[in-house]
């Protein structure tokens, strides 16, 4: 899970605010549901904000 969170943060950094869940899932190589779960967790700890 931690690797997925870091992969997602890296994908967000590379793709900027324009990236959608599908693009992030493809960039990280994980299912869209995993991206949703990781984003919820990252929002919960204040690491990212939803647009």
28 exposed, middle or buried (CB, 10 Å; 0-12, 13-18, 19+)?
Answer: buried
pLDDT at residue number 44:
96
On whether the CB atoms of residues 17 and 27 are closer than 8 A, the answer is: no
Give the count of domains, the chain. Answer: 1
**Structural domain contains residue 51:** no
**Structural domain contains residue 49:** no
- Full domain range(s) for residue 26: 2-44
Per-residue pLDDT tens over the stretch 14-45: 987 788 999 999 999 999 999 999 999 999 99
**Structural domain contains residue 39:** yes
**Structural domain contains residue 50:** no
Per-residue pLDDT tens over the stretch 40-50: 999 999 999 88
């Amino acid at each position: 899970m931690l690797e997925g969170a870091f992969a997602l943060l890296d994908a967000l950094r590379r793709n900027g605010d324009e990236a959608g869940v599908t693009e992030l899932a493809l960039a990280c190589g994980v299912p869209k549901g995993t991206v949703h779960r990781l984003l919820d967790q990252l929002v919960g700890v204040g690491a990212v904000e939803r647009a």
